[in-house]
Structure 1
Amino acid sequence: MDHLVVVTGGPGSGKTTLIDHLASLGYARTTEAGRALIRDQREIGGRGLAWRDDDLFAELMLAWEIRTHREAAALPGPVFCDRGVPDVVGYFLLRGLPVPEHVTEAARRFRYHRRVFVAPPWPEVFTGDTERHQSPEEAERTYRAMIEAYPACGYEPVELPRVPVAERARFILSHTSPGTRGH
């Protein structure tokens, strides 16, 4: 699955803005599970929210990421993924909990490009909103959890520079293999 390129990191670090920019250049993309799940669960009055039922939220994220992986794998050319299955591993690490075997198995089976781009905390661009309840401190902890989770799942994390979005996009495109460069 070399054509599936993950962008991960803590909340408010410019991941989705970067992926939106890559999409505007004609690249395929996926949607972040967490934000979509929060919107859906709020809309229906569901309990699958991190602040109501952490375990259910993690299971919903895992199911979302697996489905997203399957859909993205069928697309041609590079697909830029707004997080991936190993983010769920990171979510358990963030919570200080053991990673369930089925989550580890999902991370083993649903693979991405070996290089994963990690957006570091960026206080100057961090903003909260209706879906992002995390503090800058939790954003930092989330970043650290992703830096731990992805190598544990066999990936090479590459930290994104804190530069304007067009430069970040060029950075990603220059650091992926030739098979992921065309669109």
Structure 2
Amino acid sequence: MAREFILTGAPGAGKTVILRALEAQGVDVVEEAATDVIALDQGRGIEEPWRQPEFITDIARLQLLRAARPATGAVRVADRSLVCTLALAEYLDHPVPELLVESIGSMLASGQYERQVLFVELLGFITNTEVRRISLADSMRFERFHIEAYERFGFELVRIPALPVDQRVAMVRSLIGPVMNPD
């Protein structure tokens, strides 16, 4: 069975760059869901999907689907988790759907993820995209919601500081260990 890690942080922290580098090194990565839900809804003409009542449920459903895919190596890294979706619901002041509450309970009971969460700290600036439209101040506020949510469920946050990408990737690799199953 694969060891599964969560890599998270606020929007604009540099998670995606770290994950692409890990993937290029053979690490099995589970893609995050919020960006894809936003992009799909925007493609459907919904300018600000995060204002829709079903937004949080849509993210949770996609996360559950992606997390159910069998791991392909000894280690798998998830780009965010259901706890991140809870933090997002609280940050946006959305009601927390029962699906999310039940799924977090199941996730915790199963011990699916390592208790050490790889928490990517903000870089000190934000590069906005069509999907990411958040200020640095708001991202810093959102970061606090993430920290509080993970700590509430007893996870240990291992901080990945604002360093050059190669150093951040090396730090993550040292924490997750070998990525291939021994033959």
Q: TM-score range by the shorter chain?
A: 0.7 to 0.9
CA distance in 2, matches of 1:14, 1:84: 16
CA RMSD across the alignment? 2.1
Name the structure 1 match of 2:116.
115
Gaps of 5+ in 1: none
Once the two structures are aligned, what percentage of the paired residues are identical? 25
CA contact (8 A) 1:10 1:140 kept: yes
| Deviation sequence 1:64-119 (CA, Å, 0-9, x none) | 11111111x44332112111111111112213456444422211212312111111
Structure 2 counterparts to residues 19-168 of structure 1, below 5 A: 19-46=19-46, 49-50=49-50, 52-53=51-52, 55-71=53-69, 73-96=70-93, 99-110=96-107, 111-124=112-125, 126-168=126-168
TM-score by length of 2: 0.86
CA distance in 1, matches of 2:71, 2:171: 25
CA distance in 2, matches of 1:95, 1:44: 22
Shift of 1:33: 0.9
TM-score by length of 1: 0.86
Shift of 1:46: 4.9
Shift of 1:181: 2.4
Count of residue pairs brought into register by the alignment: 176
Flag the 1:34–1:97 CA change in 2: closer, same or farther, 3 A: closer
